[in-house]
Amino acid sequence: MRIPRIYYPDELRENSKINLTAKGLNHLRVLKLKRGNKVEIFNGKGKVSIGVIENLGRDELLVNLNEKITQEKAISPEINLGVSNIRNFDKVVKDSSQMGVTSLTSLVTSRTKQRNLKEEKVKRWNSISSSSCEQSGLNWIPKISQMKIEKWVENSNNESKYFLNPRSKLFIGDIEEFSAIDLVIGPEGGFSSEEESFLAQKNFIGINCGNLIIKTESMPIVVLSMLKVLAE
C-alpha cells in the first residue's frame, strides 16, 4: 500500500516530533492507521520526509521524523497563472494545483461576476490546493492569491507573458521559451477591448489554443497540460 501523504506547513527537522492538524488526523483515521505506521510528510516548499506515527489519540497525532529530509527542486517550468474569478473557482484551484503551477491568482476583470474578495475564500482555496498536492504527489504547493487584473499584470516580472485570445494568430505551440511563464485567462466572455489593449501595452502576447470552445473552469488544466508537454 502506498504510504499516506500529509501536508505540514511548518519547518521540517530531522529527529524531531510534530503534531499534525485535525485535517491530517481525520485523514489517517479514515485510513485506519495505527502506531508504528509510516506517513510521508511534506511542507509544500519542496521538503519531504518519512515519519512514524508515535501516538494517535482522540485529539493528538504525534509523528516522529526519524529519516532524512529531502529538499526537492522547484517545479519546472515556472508557471504563474492568473484566472478570472468564476463561481466554480474551487475546480480551477484543484486542477491547477495537480498540474504543478507555481502560483495561482483569482482575478477581478471587467466581466467578472464574482467581485467580492474575501480572505475566507483564499483560506479555502489553500486547503483545496494542499489536498490536491497530497493526492498527486507534488511537494510544492502553489502560492494562491486574489487581486484585480491590473495589479497582477503590474506585478508580472517574467519576460514570457501571454494571455489567451481565441482571435490571436499565435498558437500556444509556437511558444519557445518555457523557463518562466506568466499566463492570464479571462472570463467566459473574454477580456474587454480595454483589457486587451492594457495587456498588450504591458508586453503580454495573445495566444490561442485551437478552435475548441472551452469553459473558463476547464481551460487552466487544458493550457497547463499543453505547456507541460511542450516544455519537455
- pLDDT tens digit sequence for 122-175: 899 999 999 999 989 999 999 999 999 999 999 998 989 999 998 999 999 998
Q: What is the pLDDT of residue 111?
A: 83
Q: What is the pLDDT of residue 117?
A: 67
DSSP 60-78: -EEEEE-SPPEEPPPPSSE
Highest mean pLDDT: which range of 11-20, 67-76, 199-208: 199-208
The grid coordinates listed for 45 are: 516548499
Per-residue pLDDT at 26 exceeds 70: no
Instruction: Tell me if residue 193 falls in helix, strand or coil.
Output: helix
Amino acid at 198: F
Tell me the whole-structure pTM to 2 decimals. Answer: 0.88
Per-residue pLDDT at 21 exceeds 80: no
Q: What is the pLDDT of residue 170?
A: 93
Q: Other CB atoms closer than 10 Å to residue 132's CB: what's the count?
A: 19
For the domain made up of 78-231, the CATH class stated in words is alpha beta
Distance between CA atoms of residues 188 and 122, nearest Å: 22
Confidence band for 50, pLDDT divided at 50, 70 and 90: very high
Calculate what percentage of the chain has a pLDDT beyond 90.
Answer: 53
Question: Residue 27: left (phi > 0), alpha (psi -120 to 50), or beta?
Answer: alpha
Q: What is the pLDDT of residue 25?
A: 65
DSSP 211: S
- Element holding 87 (H helix, E strand): none
Q: What is the pLDDT of residue 212?
A: 76
Q: What is the pLDDT of residue 62?
A: 83
Distance between CA atoms of residues 53 and 66, nearest Å: 11
Q: What is the pLDDT of residue 204?
A: 97
Distance between alpha carbon 19 and the CA centroid of its chain, in Å? Answer: 25
Distance between alpha carbon 90 and the CA centroid of its chain, in Å? Answer: 11
Confidence band for 22, pLDDT divided at 50, 70 and 90: low
5-71 homologous superfamily: Hypothetical PUA domain-like; domain 1 (2.40.240.20)
Contact criterion met (CB below 8 Å) for 214 and 224: no
Domain boundaries along the sequence of the chain: 5-71, 78-231
Distance between CA atoms of residues 147 and 160, nearest Å: 21
Residue with cell string 504525534: 62
Distance between CA atoms of residues 145 and 132, nearest Å: 17
pLDDT in tens, 173-182: 998 888 899 9
* Mean pLDDT for the chain overall: 88
Contact criterion met (CB below 8 Å) for 75 and 214: no
Angle at 53 between CA 48 and CA 54, to 5 degrees: 125
pLDDT in tens, 103-130: 999 999 988 876 666 778 889 999 999 9
